[in-house]
Every structure is written in structure tokens, then in C-alpha cells.
Amino acid sequence: MLSPQKRSRSSPMTSYRTPSLSRSRRIPDTEKLLLNEVESRKQLELQLDSCFDELKQLKSNNNYQELTIEQMKMNNTASKRQFDVQIEILSTATTEKEEIIRELEVENEENYIQLERIQVTIKQNVKEINQQESYIKNMKFQEQNDKKDIEKAERDIERLQREIEKASEQFVEEFSKRQVTGQQLEDIKREHFEKENSLIEIISKQDRRRKVAKLIEFAVILFCSFNLCLQIFQFLK
């Protein structure tokens, strides 16, 4: 399509003047036809100019749209890059989050196992504490019973001591009254040993603690042996 400048140069009728009405009446039909043709060309040129302006506007709009599209492409590329960066950041964060979650799961599992061990230990400690409390109660009860038995054994020892002293006095008195033979001396020894064994059996039954029983037994044996030696010494004297 020709530009307006080219069209103005190639159309010599653009400077044509429209004749007045009185003159047009005198113009023949051929001239009227020419005038009509000129008028129609002028209208056509106006239309062409209008179309050319529209084309220029469209071209300008097209250039603007192309610039807009290019800008949009650039923005889209930048957005895509930013989106890729964000995706990479999110992917890295997700990976780190998964690692943290796995570490927390492992730590929670270890804590759960440790908690179970602690619970088992607590149960064992509670069981041992209950056993210790029961043992302490039994020991206290046993101690009370042993204390009673020891007190009773002490009373029995005192009673037996009195009996031994009384028997010793009777022994000395009897030996002072009559002459004692060797067989009678053996009988006296056997009688003392029987009393001594009887005393030991009583103490062993009354006292439940071996150490205390042995000490008491040793003391009784020592006391009885001392009394027997004293009586034999007095007899031989």
C-alpha cells in the first residue's frame, strides 16, 4: 500500500476545485462524470488515508504488543528463574526437614527405649524397696522376738546360776559331811555335765541368733567349768 506522500504525488487531481452550482449546470455530462470521479477518488483517498492511519495505529499497537510480549517473556523468564530458585530452596529445605524428622524419630526411638529401661529399673527398684521394707519389718519383728527370747534366756541363766550355786553349796556341804569315793566323784561330774548340757540346750532353743547363742553357750560352759574346777579343788584340798 502506498504512503500518503506517494499517493499525493501520483494523483494530480488532489488540487482540483469543485465548480459552483451555476457552472455545473453549464458543464456537459462528461465533465459531470469526471467531477463525480474526482469526488469519488477524493473520498477514496480519504478512506485510504484513514486506513493508513489505522494501519499505523495497528502497527504501533502491534509494536507495543510485541514490546509487551517481550517484556512478559522477560518477566516470565525472571519469574521462572525465581520460581526455580524457590523450588530449589524448598527442595533443600524439604530434604533438611526430612533429615531432621529422621533424626527426631531416631532420637524419639532411643528415648522410648531408654524410658522403657527406666520403667523396668523403677519397677525393680520398687520391688526391691518393697522387699527391703518387708525384710526390715520382719527384722524388727524378729528383733523384738529375739529381744524377748534373750531376756527370757538371761532370766533362765540367772535361775540356772542360782541353781548351780545352790548345788555347789550342797555339793560342798555334802562333801564336808562324808568321804567321797572316786566313783561318786565321777557321778558328780556326770551330773554337772548333764546340767550343763541341759542349760546349753535351753539357751540354744531360746536364742535364735547363733552368735549370741555361742557367746552365751561359751559363758555358761566357762562358768560351769569354773564351778566344777572350784568344787574339785575344794574336794582335793
pLDDT, residue 231, reads 62
In sequence order, which residues have a C-beta less than 8 Å from that of residue 32 and are 6 or more positions away? 24
Q: Give the lowest-confidence range in 85-94, 116-125, 142-151.
A: 142-151
Query: ∠ CA(84), CA(80), CA(61), 5° rounding?
Result: 175
Q: Is the pLDDT of residue 224 over 80?
A: no
Q: Is the pLDDT of residue 205 over 70?
A: no
207 contacts 155 by C-beta, under 8 angstroms: no
pLDDT, residue 184, reads 61
Query: What nine digits make up the cell of 206?
Result: 531360746
pLDDT (tens digit, 9 = 90+) per residue, 36-82? 888 888 888 888 888 888 888 887 887 777 878 888 888 888 888 88
What would the DSSP string read from start to end of 71-117?
Answer: HHHHHHHHHHHHHHHHHHHHHHHHHHHHHHHHHHHHHHHHHHHHHHH
pLDDT, residue 149, reads 76
Query: What nine digits make up the cell of 29?
Result: 455530462
Q: Is 156 exposed, middle or buried (0-12, 13-18, 19+ CB in 10 A)?
A: middle
pLDDT, residue 146, reads 76
Q: Give the lowest-confidence range in 74-78, 84-88, 104-108, 161-165.
A: 161-165
Q: Return the domain boundaries, the chain.
A: 4-79, 140-236
Query: What nine digits make up the cell of 135?
Result: 525384710
Q: Is 216 exposed, middle or buried (0-12, 13-18, 19+ CB in 10 A)?
A: buried
Question: How many whole angstroms separate alpha carbon 78 and alpha carbon 94?
Answer: 24
